[in-house]
Amino acid sequence: MEKALPFRSSTNFFQKTLDSLSVHLAILDEKGVIVAVNDAWRHFDMANHYEDSNWGVGHNYLGICQEAIGTQTEGAKNVAEAIQQMLCGEKNAFQMEYPCHSETEQRWFLLSLTRFNFEGQTWLVAAHKDISKGTVAEQGLQLRNRAMAAADEGITITDATQTGNPIIYANSGFLRITGYELDQVLGHNCRFLQGPETDQNTIETIRQALRTHTSCTVELLNYAVDGRPFWNKLSITPIRDGGGQTTHYVGIQSDITEKKQMEATLRQRTEELEELNARLINSEQALLRQNANKDKFFSIISHDLKSPFHSILGFAEILSGDLSDFTLEEIQSYGNHIHVGAQNLLNLLENLMQWTRLQSGRMGYQPEPLLLCERVEMVLSLLQGNLLAKKIHFDCSLDPEMLVYADRTHLSLVMQNLISNAIKFTQQQGKIQVYASQQNGTIIICVADNGVGIASQRLSDLFQIETSFSTVGTANEKGTGLGLILCHELVRENSGQIWAESALGEGSRFYFTLPSSIRALAVLNEDSQIKQN
């Protein structure tokens, strides 16, 4: 049989039991008056500056609740109603959380009311438990959750302990950016955002960060659920446990599509401005060159055009006097000087006229298949007198069937200038050759002489008007240097190139290229078929 405790002993026993509990306990009688409290209750009262260690005993509990919670608050009303209902037997238990803040800290308590009967009387137990730590932590967690949910950026948390590092959390910002539903995201790896244009080098940067458990920030092209591409700025940060092991990763995504588009537009505008600036610089440089060319052009006119006139006028003035004072040989010599001066003047005027037409765009360009040998023979007929005057041997070793594709007038002017120059700088009884070869679909034509030659350092200046120069021929022929510049322009107009090889005392070789006979034959055959039809 159980041994019954004496009344005083049993009272002490139960009081000791109550005092051992950490919750604040108070026992209420059937009127709600506190008849007993435990040590936790007393210590709480003393910590809150109540002088009576048994503070509350003998007081109605409802008044204490109203004072602790706040007079006429909703919480006080709920407690009062619950006490009345429990004392009347309408309710067996009641719980409520309430704040009980001090001047130095915020506290929350859980109030639990329970009812029991003893010796025919109803009693209530009021238990107060301090839940401040749990409540603060929970409120902090709720605040963080609300903050993450409200963030404009997309936030994901992945589980690094599971295979595939699946997403276990995604906020509304992530769902808004990507267009996915939550059930389409949870449990999946973030690779579902990748698409055909996603840069694999950037993906490798992310993988390397995951392998090394480090943070990284990248910009990559991702795809929304509807296939729409968007630029994503992604920052990944590992989360570690107390032992330093990576357990999760936090990913923060920002849609930077608009920023990227603005950057692309800015780059395009910058390139356009740079291109425009380059064109302006080129135009300015071209204008400067054009002005320099004009200066050179007028210098040629003012200087070289006057020289033949002075010669002609001087000798003409002599001959306009009494011829009886001169021998026949002298008269013939003066007449020869007048002829040479007039010829030089004619050559100069012809070159100046062709140069002006070329620069103004009035010299047309009408390429056609031409027999090269035929063009050379035409030029020789014009320059035959010059060749005979110097007794120069002319050797033309051209294939009579060789065709070139060029403008008739342009080719004639080039050949005339090159052969005329060769005559000018070749001594009496010298030799001039014209020959051609075909190489890689291009015809290379050469006009060679064994005349005085050109210094090697002057070769690069031959075809530039800015640095052009004139040299007196072997028979004191005058020149402007304009003929070679004209040749350069005309050859370039016909898709060719021109250059020279020379050395002082060793003669000169002038080369220029024209489109091959293959193109000329094709055009010639086409014209022949048209005529036959």
**Residue 169 CB-half CA count within 13 A:** 14
Domain residue limits, the chain: 12-131, 151-255, 263-300, 305-363, 364-528
Question: Minimum mean pLDDT among 43-52, 59-68, 125-134, 239-248: which range?
Answer: 43-52
Query: In CATH, which of 3.30.450.20, 3.30.360.10, 3.50.7.10, 3.50.70.10 is domain 151-255?
Result: 3.30.450.20
User: Cα dihedral sign for 256, 261, 262, 268?
Assistant: positive
pLDDT in tens, 236-267: 999 898 888 999 998 888 889 988 888 888 88
Query: What gap in Å lies between CA 113 and CA 107, rounded to an integer?
Result: 20
For the segment 57-72, what is each residue's pLDDT rounded down to a tens digit?
Answer: 888 887 766 665 555 5
d(CA 423, CA 382): 13
pLDDT of residue 5: 47
Cβ proximity of 253 and 177 under 8 Å:
yes
Tally of CB atoms within 10 A around 482: 22
Residue 89 has pLDDT above 80, yes or no: yes
Domain 12-131 in CATH 3.30.450.20? The answer is: yes
**pLDDT > 80? residue 294:** no
Cα–Cα distance between 329 and 423 in angstroms, integer? 26
Give 336-384 pLDDT, tens digit per residue: 777 766 766 676 676 666 666 666 666 677 888 999 999 999 888 878 8
CATH of domain 364-528: 3.30.565.10
Topology match between the domains 151-255 and 364-528 = no
What does the pLDDT look like over 159-183, one tens digit per residue?
989 988 999 888 888 898 999 998 8
Residue corresponding to tokens 């002490």: 12
Is the pLDDT at 314 greater than 70? The verdict is yes
* Strand pairing class (216-223; 167-170): unpaired
Task: State how far the Cα of 130 lies from the Cα of 135, in Å rounded to an integer.
Answer: 9
Written as one letter, the residue type at 231 is W
Burial code (b: 16+ CB inside 10 Å, e: under 16) for 401-433 equals ebbbbbbeebbbbbbbbbbbbbbbbbbeebbbb
Q: Read off the tokens for 44.
A: 């709480």
